[in-house]
Amino acid sequence: MAAAVPGALPVAVPVAGEGSEGRVVVAVVGPTATGKSDLGLALAERLGGEVVNVDAMQLYRGMDIGTAKLAVAERRGIPHHQLDVLDVDEDASVARYQRDARADLAGISARGARGVVVGGSGLYVRALLDKLTFPGVDPAVRARLEERAEKHGTRHLHDELARLDPAAAIAIGPANTRRIVRALEVIEITGQPYTANLPEQVYVVPAVQIGLDCDRAVLDERVDRRVDRMWEQGLVEEVLGLLTRGMGRTAARAVGYAEVIALVRGEGDEADARAAVAGNTRRLARKQMTWFGRDQRVHWLDARDPDLVARALEIVAAADRGDLEPGPEPRRTLGA
């Protein structure tokens, strides 16, 4: 059993289930467009649960169509947490999410309900469920690093990171300026390698992760249909409205939004934008599968299984009893 960490929920907060069984937190994870929201709703209905969103872009008010956010009428009366909690001009913070979402889980448990975590933002899932602390920030250090990146280029900072923390440099890669800057900031603030602050695969609450996998060709078709629906529902109009409110950097970079912003600015035509949204969504799905595929604690199910809900409930029941067997090696159909 993991020790508590600052801001974490108590590790052992059993809620009575059948007999002497406790209730684990259920997390439905995996790539976009695999049906996580539908499975999460079904499990919450059957398990007396409340949903905690763990999709970083669904934190934003008004970012509804492009994130495939469930409308209130589609939530079947089930309470949802961590939806519509940020304005689009704010930058999302994993540390703030961790604090607030863990408080939500504690409240759900206190009400005798079960937490059902749903989403595909990998780091946010780890921050919510796992032992993970966040070093502070230093605006002056960050500003200095960002100025150096602007002046000398991202590669210059990546070379420095490679000297100070080779493992972090490999993991982040040479193109992600924001994460390179953050890694160097943490190193300067803490005097430790950035990798020393990475999450441990140790739950801070009893939990089980259920991952949804999907055949690559089938998922590509699902993505195409989703993009078509987004356009029909008014994605371009949604983005135009958000731009008048002043979208911050984080919101404006979201898949589905960045491409429409480029369209609005005259970069290509509508067909180009639609193709870009579909292509970038597929790439996002593969990245998500790679991320979650590395976590051996995830129990994978086929998103197309007609008995999907029943199989997921079997996994939850075994986790509640404490006799859940390790799942098979992940298929990695999308992460290959």
**Of 56-65, 214-223, 233-242, 326-335, minimum mean pLDDT range:** 326-335
Share of residues in the chain with pLDDT > 90 (%):
84
Q: What is the pLDDT of residues 249-302, one digit of tens each?
A: 899 999 999 999 999 999 999 999 999 999 999 999 999 999 999 999 999 999
Phi, psi (rounded to 5 degrees) for 131: -70, 110
Q: Residue 305: pLDDT band by 50, 70, 90 thresholds?
A: very high
Q: 304 with 215: CB under 8 angstroms? A: yes
Specify binding-site residues for substrate: 32-37
Q: Is the pLDDT of residue 329 over 90?
A: no
Query: pTM of the predicted model, to two decimals?
Result: 0.82
Q: Is the pLDDT of residue 6 over 50?
A: no
Q: Tell me which amino acid residue 293 is.
A: G
Instruction: Specify the pLDDT at position 333.
Output: 55
Instruction: Specify the pLDDT at position 331.
Output: 56
Structure tokens at 226: 């989703």
Instruction: Specify the pLDDT at position 195.
Output: 85
Specify binding-site residues: 30-37
More confident residue, 12 or 277: 277
Query: How large is the average pLDDT for residues 34-47?
Result: 98
Q: 91, exposed or middle or buried, with CB in 10 Å at 0-12, 13-18, 19+?
A: exposed
Instruction: Specify the pLDDT at position 2.
Output: 33
Instruction: Specify the pLDDT at position 171.
Output: 87
Question: Strand 25-29 and strand 114-118: pairing?
Answer: parallel
Question: Strand 114-118 and strand 49-53: pairing?
Answer: parallel
Share of residues in the chain with pLDDT > 70 (%):
90
Nearest to 36 by CA among 219, 221, 251: 219
Q: What is the pLDDT of residues 117-155, one digit of tens each?
A: 999 999 999 999 999 888 888 999 999 999 999 999 999
Domains of the chain and any CATH numbers: 7-132+205-336 (3.40.50.300), 139-197 (1.10.20.140)
Query: How large is the average pLDDT for residues 67-94?
Result: 97
Average of per-residue pLDDT values in the chain: 90
Q: What is the pLDDT of residues 180-209, one digit of tens each?
A: 999 999 999 999 999 887 778 899 999 999
* DSSP letter assigned to residue 82: S
The separation between CA 71 and the C-alpha centre of its own chain, rounded to angstroms, equals: 19
Specify binding-site residues for ATP: 30-37
Cα separation, 8 vs 205, in Å, equals 8
The separation between CA 305 and the C-alpha centre of its own chain, rounded to angstroms, equals: 23
Report the residue count for the chain.
336
Q: 171 with 259: CB under 8 angstroms? A: no
